[in-house]
Amino acid sequence: MDFGAITKHSVLHAKPSGLLFQYGTAGFRMKAEHLDHVMFRMGLLAVLRSKQTKSTIGVMVTASHNPEEDNGVKLVDPLGEMLAPCWEEYATCLANAEEEDMQRVLIDISEKEAVDLQQDAFVVIGRDTRPSSEKLSQSVIDGVTVLGGQFHDYGLLTTPQLHYMVCCRNTSGQYGMATIEGYYQKLSKAFVELTKQASRSGDEFRSLKVDCANGIGALKLKEMENYLSQGLSVQLFNDGTKGKLNHLCGADFVKSHQKPPQGMEIKSNERCCSFDGDADRIVYYYCDADGHFHLIDGDKIATLISSFLKELLVEIGENLNVGVVQTAYANGSSTRYLEEVMKVPVYCTKTGVKHLHHKAQEFDIGVYFEANGHGTALFSKAVEDKVKQLAGELEDKKGKAAKILRNIIDLFNQAAGDAIADMLVIEAILALKSLTVQQWDALYTDLPNRQLKVKVADRKVISTTDAERQAVTPPGLQEAINDLVKKYRLSRAFVRPSGTEDVIRVYAEADSQESADSLAHEVSLAVFQLAGGIGERPQPGF
């Protein structure tokens, strides 16, 4: 390592004083003006990770569903997965290092991980449409080049597209071509094949309104439209030509406010969906004949997909294990429907995509979605090989089902949750099953629920177990929650510390909205009293 050159460049990307940086599930995220030195140093770290894994590593400049003035960065590991946990710690350490400690930190990482510094390194970079992203991605490139790494700058990409590129480059093209055209061709080919097999019954399944959150998803869907000339007509809203990124639009806004985005007129029973700012989340929705808004979130998306996959496996006659992975935030009705009606086993993990992804890898077919619309399906190599073999050999009903499953596998971005890929999977399933959006919504009825936040002096006073569904500390809190839950029908409640701020998140569901609200309020009071609440006591009413 040429520490003279590193120091010379590092001074040009000076670390602001008085700020602490933490690499979390979403990488680093904060106001864009504080991130220049972080970007430079993540360029350095990506080179070390590339040398250590002897693979291409990705760096994505985005803050996803955060406001436009924020930005962020995350590293992508060789198979398109999230950065390994110990390297997240190195990222935090490197971002917080003072100038004079940089040399020691870089040497420490290299020695601990036995990095061969003579090994070649290759890094690919992508960015979203934020005004700050281009300059910040240049800072990443500065970090990569000063350590002698090679790079390819893809420019504007959705986050899942960068995950796809990394996976393609590290599997010698087996996963697909590592170009934007390769991505479009792989997905559109599978989608067009699937829609050819759907029964033709007018155009009701073929048009979709898409809210692009004024983000990168709009640019990429416009580019992809030419590839989808058959099978689907998409109408884009909040396409970035005038509105602000994620402002009053996007998947996060629609999910949390339970209403349509600004800038989109919805007629009765029209099928609509929203992406988030970097197009790795998707939620669906519609308004019924009475004008009531209906949200179809990640739980219902997972239910549609896993039920369809289970039906295909029955047709094919293969005894493969399908599992759905949820967090404690999944609506209880979805869990009951999957387990009791569809006979699909459901597993619960801690909140955070990396926990869901890891658990989903344990199954032949693992489907995971967070309620916020972030998710995908994973297929084992054995499943992919078997399906290809059956699709090639058989021309009967079993062979047809195998061909459908082969195309579904190709449609999913198994490297990451991908709003574009998930949208195409959903549209294909609805067409193949001749389902309307209302019929999909009617699979089960969500239990009313309420989420609240309680401010506390120190969020670490609450520790949890059982995938965050049981509080271990402080003493007496879980017992209090248990007693409160007993007062309501079909109810449950849990609390967990926020990953980013000194608040405790409270979740409650019950048989009516009034009961869910009341239970959430009572649990909030218990948290306030037993876990060191600060400020005003929680008040009823929402």
Element (H or E) spanning 193, and its range? helix 180-196
| Region for 491 from its dihedrals, namely left if φ exceeds 0, alpha if ψ lies in -120 to 50, beta otherwise | beta
Asked if 323 and 332 count as a contact pair (C-beta separation under 8 A), the reply is: no
**Residue 496 marked ligand-binding:** yes
SS3 content of the chain, % helix, strand, coil (to 5): 45, 20, 35
**Residue 372 marked ligand-binding:** yes
**Residue 64 marked ligand-binding:** yes
**Residue 371 marked ligand-binding:** yes
**Residue 101 marked ligand-binding:** no
**Residue 498 marked ligand-binding:** yes
Three-state secondary-structure class, residue 460: helix
Active-site position among 10, 50, 55, 64: 64
**Residue 145 marked ligand-binding:** no
Q: How many C-beta atoms surround the C-beta of residue 72 within 10 A?
A: 26
Q: How many C-beta atoms surround the C-beta of residue 116 within 10 A?
A: 11
Annotation marks residue 515 as catalytic: no
Alpha carbon distance 468, 485 (integer Å)? 16
Structure tokens at 406: 């082969």
**Residue 499 marked ligand-binding:** yes
Burial state string for 169-189 with b = 16 or more CB within 10 A and e = fewer than 16 = bbeeeebbbbebebbbebbbe
**Burial class for 506, CB neighbours closer than 10 Å (0-12, 13-18, 19+):** buried
**Residue 56 marked ligand-binding:** no
**Residue 489 marked ligand-binding:** no
Edge to edge, the sheet with strand 449-455 lists 449-455, 503-509, 492-497
Count H helices, E strands: the chain?
A: 18, 19
Asked if 206 and 194 count as a contact pair (C-beta separation under 8 A), the reply is: no
Contacts of 303 (CB under 8 A, 6+ apart): 324, 334, 337, 338, 342, 443, 444
- Dihedral, 469, 281, 27, 22 alpha carbons, nearest 10: -50
**Residue 98 marked ligand-binding:** no
Q: Which residue has the tokens 């420490």?
A: 108
Q: Residues within the annotated binding site for substrate?
A: 370-372, 496-500, 505
Residue list, annotated binding site: 64, 276, 278, 280, 370-372, 496-500, 505
Point out the residues that are catalytic: 64
Q: Which residues are annotated as a binding site for Mg(2+)?
A: 64, 276, 278, 280
